[in-house]
Amino acid sequence: MYGLYLEAVNDYINESYGEDVWRLIEARAEIPHLKFVRHQMYKCLLPSDSLILRLAKAAGEVLGKTHDELMYAFGVYMVKRIGNYGYERILKVLGRNVRDFINELDNLHEYFRFSFPKVLPPSFCVEEECETSLTLHYRSTRKGFTQFVKGQLSQVGRQFYNTDIEVEILSKEETEKMTYVVYKMNFDNAAFKHRMPQQKAVPYYEKLPMKRGIIFDMFPFSVIFKRDMTMYRIGDGLKEVFSDLQGKKFNEEFNLVRPMLEFSWENINSHQNNVFELLSKAVPFILRLKNWKCNETIFEDMREPPKKPLHLKGQMKYVHQWDSLIFLGTPIIETVEDMIKMGVYINDLNLHDSSREFILAGTQQSAELQLALDQEQQKYAQLQEIIKKLDEEKKHGDLLLYAMIPRAVADRLRKGITALETCQVFPDVTILFSDVVKFNEICIHITPMQVVDMLNEIYIVFDTLSEKHNVYKVETIRDAYMVVAGVPNKTTFHAHHICDMALDMLSSIDHLKDPSTGDNIQIRVGIHSGMVVAGVVGLKMPRYCLFGDTVNTASRMESNGVGMQIHISQTTKDHLEHEPYSIEERGKVFVKGKGYMKTYWLKGKKDLSFKT
């Protein structure tokens, strides 16, 4: 499968659900992280496997959506973003209206043949058409793309023709080699009536009788055949390649490659709007000796014998006067090597066939293009290695960023949200402050490096506890340590998380010593619950900060506490009602800026052996 489709799926998941979800899907699908290249083929180990189906299955498991929902969404998105891939203009000129577009759909992949030469195109055939609907027959060697095609058909009507198309699946058959789906497309198909042939008298001067020989001069690879598929007139170019075709059955000498139908008169006659591709069953036979003589010397054809079947592309038309179908075709030739392998010469092609120019111009530039391709492939390999290293560096950067700013907030900033727009009101949270008792006195007697080592030991313990109790570390200022629960992830158990951490903080520092005296380090802890505003402010060294009276009150709880005690406010105590916490009333305490407040000591938890 070409990277174009995988790139579209990648973009859809990233835009709809975020890059982190894409990484989860990518890992679950067991696809190595790649930057998909639009024109590169990506193959699976098993022929029946498909990367896009693996991604759809993994996405369904991660997102909780069905395979059909995701494949439909992928198809819709593919058409929405087709302009980003440079193919919107081709789709816009495919038809004047929905009907013309659908009738030309089978030929769409032919236009992409030079950009995507290895594509295995599906086949589309229109049948049973009326003014309100048409039936589209879809055949493909791939499995699992039924809803993908349905999404594409629906979106084409909306996006290019401002027409709502209701797509129904009438039937679906899957064999080992083929998927066959019949879609019914309901829409305003007024163009069908407009294009219906009108019976009218034809002026005599418009009746232009033409001999069949002129047609075969103009189209040297054409064939006229009867209802029994017998070829009774062959173009001159085709005669040069196969000298004995006349009188044989068309379907016995050629295979029908496109559309994917049985090669019969009825199928051809009912699908004249399709482009037909034919492949000869035999390799062309060229006479080695020509009847050219010069000075008694016979010139031989120095080319090697043909090794490749003849590949023709063209149109089928029913000619009423002859009661026959005529195939107006031309060889599909991309290089001089193809001509040699098929046994075709430049002068076999008609003069108005652009294949002449394509072949000669392509041959002149092929060496330069091959060299450029080799260089691009080397650059691509280098680019993949650079992308891999960048991804590793990005992961390191993400870890550092998420350590400073909550993940959800950081992701919003990446999407272009301003810092001020990240500010959010949280009506009920719990904040904890702690500091080291007699910190200033300790600092007088030890070196700055010893102060750093002491605080580092304390903060490593506290950081571990913050992860354990699902609280967010806001900041540290000197010996002050601040955490909050309920921000940025809201929870009704914010007071419980903070109080559990506070109890663990007191019990977890019993091994830490004061460097100046050798005694155990003691801390004060203050806790308060209430409303805050949280967000990122400033441009330089942005930090996630909390604002509001709750922050000040929690700080006062800590500063008015005592060593190795947990000082809590009335609001925090109310959150712990009917919970197994041991709480002791302290009484009224004068708090600067607040007056007298009734406060409490948190002594422990009844199911814990620890008591303060």
- One DSSP character per residue, 282-293 reads S-----SEEEEE
CA proximity to 182, closest of 174, 192, 193, 190: 174
Torsion of CA 215, 218, 221, 222, to 10 degrees: -20
Look up residue 105 and give its DSSP letter.
G
289 CB-near residues (< 8 Å, 6+ apart): 298, 300, 301
Angle between helix 146-161 and 67-80 (nearest 10): 30
Q: What is the pLDDT of residue 264?
A: 93
Assigned token pair, 369: 């293009």
DSSP H or E run through 556: helix 549-559
CA distance 383 to 395: 18
CA proximity to 272, closest of 133, 95, 104, 94: 104
Instruction: Please classify residue 479 by burial: count the beta carbons closer than 10 Å to its beta carbon, then call 0-12 exposed, 13-18 middle and 19+ buried.
Output: buried
With contact defined as beta carbons under 8 Å apart, do 38 and 3 qualify? yes
Which whole-number Å values give the CA distances from 583 to 433, 554, 572, 612, in the listed order? 18, 17, 11, 11
Assigned token pair, 573: 């105590």
Q: What is the pLDDT of residue 292?
A: 39
pLDDT tens for each residue of 94-141: 778 888 888 888 877 666 666 676 777 888 888 888 889 999 999 988
CA proximity to 319, closest of 209, 447, 410: 209
With contact defined as beta carbons under 8 Å apart, do 350 and 218 qualify? yes
Q: What is the pLDDT of residue 436?
A: 93
pLDDT tens for each residue of 238-247: 888 888 888 9
CA distance 158 to 166: 11
DSSP 3-state of 265? helix
Assigned token pair, 331: 């060889």
Q: How would DSSP label each residue in 518-582?
A: -SBP-EEEEEEEEEEEEEEE-SSS-EEEEESHHHHHHHHHHHT--TT-EEEEHHHHHHTTTSSEE
Instruction: Please classify residue 301 by burial: count the beta carbons closer than 10 Å to its beta carbon, then call 0-12 exposed, 13-18 middle and 19+ buried.
Output: middle
DSSP H or E run through 20: helix 19-28
Q: Are strands 254-258 and 275-280 parallel, antiparallel or unpaired?
A: antiparallel
Instruction: Please classify residue 71 by burial: count the beta carbons closer than 10 Å to its beta carbon, then call 0-12 exposed, 13-18 middle and 19+ buried.
Output: buried
Q: What is the pLDDT of residue 186?
A: 93
Q: Name the residue type at position 100.
A: D
CA distance 225 to 214: 17
- Is 0.75 topped by the overall pTM? no
The verdict on whether omega for the bond into residue 488 sits within 30 degrees of 0, i.e. cis, is yes
Give the side-chain half-sphere CA count within 13 A for 253: 20
CA distance 275 to 210: 25
> Residues in the chain with pLDDT < 50?
45-48, 198, 202, 205, 287-303, 608-612
Q: If you count them, how many residues does the chain have?
A: 612
> Which residues lie across from 484 on neighbouring strands?
431, 472
With contact defined as beta carbons under 8 Å apart, do 259 and 290 qualify? no
Assigned token pair, 110: 């032919």
Instruction: Please classify residue 234 by burial: count the beta carbons closer than 10 Å to its beta carbon, then call 0-12 exposed, 13-18 middle and 19+ buried.
Output: buried
DSSP 3-state of 300? strand
CA proximity to 312, closest of 298, 301, 328: 328
Q: What is the pLDDT of residue 301?
A: 46
Q: What is the pLDDT of residue 113?
A: 64
CA distance 411 to 148: 30
